[in-house]
Each structure stands twice: as C-alpha cells, then as structure tokens.
Amino acid sequence: MSRLSRRSFLAASAALIAAPALRVDSAGAADVDVAVIGAGAAGIAAARRIVAARRSVQLIEASNRIGGRCVTDTATFGVPFDLGAHWIRNPNGNPLARLAPKGFDVYRAPRGLSMRIGQRDARDAELENFLASLVRTRRAIDDAGHGRVDMPAAKALPRDLGAAQGAIEFVAGPLACGKDLSDVSVNDLGRAVERDDDAFCRQGYGALLAKLAARLPVELADPVDAIAWRRGPAVSSRRGSLVARAVILTVSTNVLASGKIEFFPPLPLRVRAAAEKLSLGSYDHIALDMPGNPLGLLQDDFVFEQAQGKRTAALLANVSGTGLHLVEVAGSFGRDLSAKGERAMIAFAQEWLGSLFGASVKRKIKRARATRWNHEPFVLGAMSAAAVGGVPARQALMEPLGDRVWFAGEAVHETKWGTVEGAWESGERAANAVLRYLGGLKPESTKKKPARNSRHRYRRQRGRDR
C-alpha cells in the first residue's frame, strides 16, 4: 500500500468531496482493482470471485485472523473449537460444503434432540407435545411473516403453548437469531429459508473457511478507519492508504452503525438507518472440556430444557466425538450475561448443567472458555436480525454507494441472513456487480502490478449457523 498519513488522507478526502465525481480508469491511477474490507465469509467469497476473473484484489482485515465470525481455535482444548459459526446449513446446496477440499470431513448432523425437565429426560409424550407446539409456532410466524403489516414476532405466537412456551420462545428467538422475539420483525423471520438440514465439519467450520482463503492476498491486523467514496475510492487503514477502482465493504452492521469507519462524504441516511434496523443479536458459546462423556450423551447430541423464563441455554454435547461441550446462551439474557464477563458466563454454565444433570457435573469440567462476541471490537455482536419495519433495509444495503462501494455480509441477504452461506452468496453477488462495473477497464490479458500484501423437525426453527 502507499503510505499516506491520516492528516494527508483527510485533506485529500475533503478535496474529493468538493471535486466532481470521476471514475478512476487511467493506467496506474489505482493501486488495485478492488479493495475488500473484511476477511470473513463474504470478503473471502468476493475476493475469490475477483481473482478468478483475473482482476487484482486486496483483502484488508481488522483483526489478526481470517474468518470474521467463523473461526476455529485448536489451541485452547487441543481439538477444533468453532468460536462462532458451527452449523453448516443445507449442506446439499451450501457452497462451502461443496468446496470443502480433501482432508475436510463434512458429515451430517444427527436429527435427534433431547429435552430435560428438571433432572430427567422428557417423556416421549412430553417431547412430542413440545414438537407439535413448535411446529404450530413456526407456522404462525410464517403466516404472519407473509402479511402486509409487520410486528414483533412475539405477537404471532399461539396463545395456548402452556408449559412449552418458555422453551419455544428461546428456540424460535434467541437460539434462532440472537434476539428475543419481542425485538425481531415477524416479516424477517417469516421470509427466512427453512434450515432443517444440517452438517458439521470435523476440522471446524472456521478452518474450512480459512482453507478457502489460503491463496488470497490479505493484510491482517489492519483496521480501516476511513473511506473516501465519491471518486477513487480511497481507503485509509492503520498501515496507510489504498486507492482502488471499487470497494466491497463486509463489516458487520453494528460496526457500520458505530462510526468506527469514517466516510467522506458521510454515509447517506438510508444506509445508516438500514444498519441500525439490522443490528446484531447476541449469541455465545461457553465451551467446557468434559472428557469421558460424564453426561451420558451421544456425539453432537443437542439438549435444551423446558424453560420457565429467559434464563436458559442449550447444550451441544461431545462435539464431533470429542469431550468438548458447548453451552449456548443468546438473546437479552445472553447479552446481559456476557456483559458480566467470562467468569460469570462459566459459572452460569456450571450451575445450569448442574440443575439438569446433578451437582457433580462441575467436578467433571477440566477446562472452560467463553466467547464474548458483543465485545469483539471489530464485530460487536453475533448475527443480524431485523427490527420491526427493517426488512427493506436488507435490500437497501444491496445498493452501492455511488457505484464505488458495495456492501456484503450475512445481513445483506434477504432469506439466508444469519448464516455463513448467506454471507458467502452476498460476497459473490457484490463481486459480480463490481466486475460488471469494471467491464470498461483494459482487457484481462493486460499485465497488472499485483496488489501488495503490501435434529428432528426442530432444526428448521434455529435459523443461524452458531
């Protein structure tokens, strides 16, 4: 990258605002054809598409790792631990499952599930009653979601859920999209594609995504702080400035709304409003190393409880046949718990498991770690879910800024929001739009200076990859 100071970048940006809009198309006027900001699923998909079209691209990532909200850690427990996204939705059509290279084992998730009522398993009749109520709830949300009037999804729930209501509200809301049903648009939930077929990657979903990015030019630990988009455009980051012919911006909606990136000229009101309407929910894993299967559960067994309120969680046990167990907390309770810190999160997980499997569980835990995505400075949350009236915001973010900056990410997909697959498809869509825009450049054969690296039917309710 060229190295301009922040002051020089700001001065140049002010001049660009005053100048007429011009397309950068002369030889040598840009450092790179496309700058892709954010090396998560959307950014990786976009960069791969651009490289395949033989255009130059530079990925710029704020954190020190590839993957965004889809990252695998192997150091903490000695086995793959997906810090964020873990469920591979609809593997038959999921592009990441299709692209999995040799050495990556993508296998079907079990379709079974367990529900605990106190310290016992739900009886068959109790579980069937819960599943029937869950199906009725999903149908009610679907019906309301295709209506003309939007409303909080909580208002669409059947009124006769009885003892199942707490668990259903958790499953359909926090577990599905990271938000309580009272905070989510029924239209957004109703338009989401069914996600009733799942898979896992034994080596980790994040490891698979990182493998697909292995040959891409990427600058890590280089947060972008400003974008001048009227002409150029120009990108300012910790390591300097970069002039590109186009930019694909894949940061989360919470980052976009936070003002962490300054825009010259300022973002239009429609973009700022869209980011706010599509804010991220809260979803975290509390990972527990419990070797020897002390809970007596199956591989990838999914367990939740007949909850009486918001203070609840779900358990994914014996992940990929290891001793790793994930206690999932989400929604307003998960957000408040995360704010108290990792120690409080682990204490809750121990208490919650003890209430379901007995107090001796605590002694079986060898190591523990909790994610806190709301406090990751370059993410600030889990996945996007639209507030009431927010469905059109997804379409609004599909429109470029001045034919120079395109948005991509899981929030920029109308039906697969909240999934890695949706983010990937959004990145490819943005890349295709950029390539159409770049069609007037020199033929592909012209040499360019390379960018410097200077279970049961229940699953369909869950709606997210975490």
Q: Is the distance from CB of 338 to CB of 313 less than 8 angstroms? A: no
Q: pTM of the full predicted structure?
A: 0.90
Distance CA 412, CA 423 (A): 7
CATH number of the structural domain spanning residue 326: 3.90.660.10
- Alpha-carbon torsion (404, 421, 373, 387), positive or negative: positive
Check whether residue 409 and residue 359 sit in a common domain.
Answer: no
Checking if the pLDDT of 232 tops 80, the result is no
Checking if the pLDDT of 159 tops 80, the result is yes
pLDDT band at 9 (very low <50, low <70, confident <90, very high): low
**Residue type present at position 388:** V
Check whether residue 80 and residue 60 sit in a common domain.
Answer: no
Residue 447 lies in a domain: no
Residue whose structure tokens are 């279970």: 455
Residues in CB range of 110: below 8 A, 6 or more apart: 298, 299, 300, 301, 302, 455
Average pLDDT over residues 140-149: 92
Check whether residue 297 and residue 340 sit in a common domain.
Answer: yes
Residue 449 lies in a domain: no
Q: Is the distance from CB of 124 to CB of 112 less than 8 angstroms? A: no
Check whether residue 133 and residue 32 sit in a common domain.
Answer: no
pLDDT band at 111 (very low <50, low <70, confident <90, very high): confident
Checking if the pLDDT of 460 tops 50, the result is no
Check whether residue 27 and residue 173 sit in a common domain.
Answer: no
Residue 459 lies in a domain: no
Check whether residue 167 and residue 27 sit in a common domain.
Answer: no
Structural domain for 241, as ranges: 6-69+205-278+388-440
Boundary residue ending a domain (343, 378, 413): 378
Tokens of 192: 């989401």
Check whether residue 360 and residue 312 sit in a common domain.
Answer: yes
Q: What is the pLDDT of residues 383-402, one digit of tens each?
A: 999 999 999 999 999 999 99
Residue 289 lies in a domain: yes
Q: Which residues pair with 224 in a beta bridge?
A: 237
Check whether residue 79 and residue 174 sit in a common domain.
Answer: yes
Check whether residue 220 and residue 354 sit in a common domain.
Answer: no
Check whether residue 223 and residue 351 sit in a common domain.
Answer: no
Residue 34 lies in a domain: yes
The number of domains in the chain is 2
Q: What is the pLDDT of residues 56-85, one digit of tens each?
A: 999 999 999 999 999 999 999 999 999 999
Residue 466 lies in a domain: no
CATH number of the structural domain spanning residue 51: 3.50.50.60
Residue 96 lies in a domain: no
Check whether residue 366 and residue 326 sit in a common domain.
Answer: yes
Q: What are phi and psi of 261, to 5 degrees?
A: -110, 125
Check whether residue 185 and residue 134 sit in a common domain.
Answer: yes
Residue 296 lies in a domain: yes
